[in-house]
Amino acid sequence: MDGAFFREDVLRFLDRRKAEYAIKIPFYTWIGLKPTIQNRRRWKRIDSQVSCFSTNIVLEPWDRTVRVVVYRKRVFHHSRKNFQLDLFDPADGHYEYSAIATNKTLNGRNLWAFLNGRGTHERAYAELKNGFAFDSVPSHHYGANSAWQALSVMAHNLIKGLQVATTADRRSSSRKRRARYCFETIQTLRYKWLNRAGVVLRPDGYATLDVGCGGQVAHCFAEIDVGLKKAA
């Protein structure tokens, strides 16, 4: 999760649920990250540009201690981000810093890969908003807007479930913990499945979808049909 979720109530909720987490930490003064980073002399190399170290931070206002992994990424261009809003002296080079609070037992290298895999989730949120109109506000009524969002989520999950049962390829496990299946977006599926010219015929007394004589198109629908029968 990003820094907006680095809150005492969120951490306590996750503790009660016994859930593992990795949450970005804002560079608030009261947390004390700045002097911790400035006094650090040994960093563990992840790759040619990224290094890290792990430490425990005592959060006195919250009466708790959290494990924190601090990352720095070497950058070679000048921008405001290089200076982290003047938090750090760039005399030793230009770096972009980030800090992660976590209760996972992963080392710094594997945690970095896990964080980078978060892009899969961001893609799902973006598709939910842009492909299923989750971010639309269709009326001035709370109940109607709530129902709209619930239907958007249901439609999203239905499409993903359909792909899992029929056409989605299963990925192998990786340190990034990406989605287990390789999904196509709803925008792609609209062209492949939905916005497709066809007609329902009854040549043998039961409804049959005729999508023309294109072999690739027919194979697409036949693959879905076989997958659904196996899932049933």
Same domain as 160, residue 68: no
Query: Is residue 173 in a domain?
Result: yes
Residue 9 sits in the same domain as residue 111:
yes
Does residue 13 belong to any structural domain of this protein?
Answer: yes
Name the E strands within the chain: 22-24, 44-45, 50-59, 64-74, 95-102, 169-170, 181-182, 199-201, 208-210
67-94 pLDDT tens trace: 999 999 887 765 555 445 455 554 455 7
Q: What is the pLDDT of residue 88?
A: 55
Query: How many domains, the chain?
Result: 3
**Does residue 188 sit within a domain?**
no
DSSP-derived 3-state class of residue 9: helix
pLDDT over 70 percentage in the chain? 91
Q: Which of the listed residues 116, 139, 164 is the one where a domain comes to its end?
A: 116
pTM: 0.64
Residue 74 shares a structural domain with residue 126: no
Last residue of a domain, one of 66, 89, 116: 116
- The separation between the first and the last C-alpha atoms of the chain, rounded to the nearest angstrom, is 36
Q: Give me the pLDDT at residue 154, please.
A: 95
**What distance in Å separates the CA atoms of residue 88 and residue 36, rounded to the nearest whole number?**
11
Same domain as 130, residue 105: no
Q: What is the pLDDT of residues 19-58, one digit of tens each?
A: 999 999 998 889 988 889 888 889 999 988 899 999 999 9
Is 101 found in the same domain as 65? yes
The overall average pLDDT reported for the chain is: 85
pLDDT, position 202: 84
pLDDT recorded at residue 71: 93
At residue 122, the pLDDT reads: 78
> Could you say which of 65, 94, 116 is where a domain stops?
116
Residue 49 domain boundaries:
3-116
Looking at the structure, do residues 13 and 84 belong to the same domain, yes or no? Answer: yes
**Residue 106 and residue 54 share a domain:** yes
Residues 6+ apart with CB under 8 A from 16: none
Q: Are residues 7 and 107 in the same domain?
A: yes
H or E, element range at 128:
helix 119-131
The mean per-residue pLDDT over the stretch 161-184 comes to: 82
| Residue 162, in any domain of the structure | yes
Task: Quote the CA–CA distance of 126 and 118 in Å, as a whole number.
Answer: 13
Residue 190 maps to a domain: no
Lowest pLDDT segment from 78-87, 96-105, 152-161: 78-87
Residues 152 and 55 in one domain: no
Instruction: Measure the CA–CA gap between 62 and 69, rounded to whole angstroms.
Output: 19
pLDDT digits (tens, 9 = 90+) for 200-229: 888 888 888 777 777 777 788 888 888 888
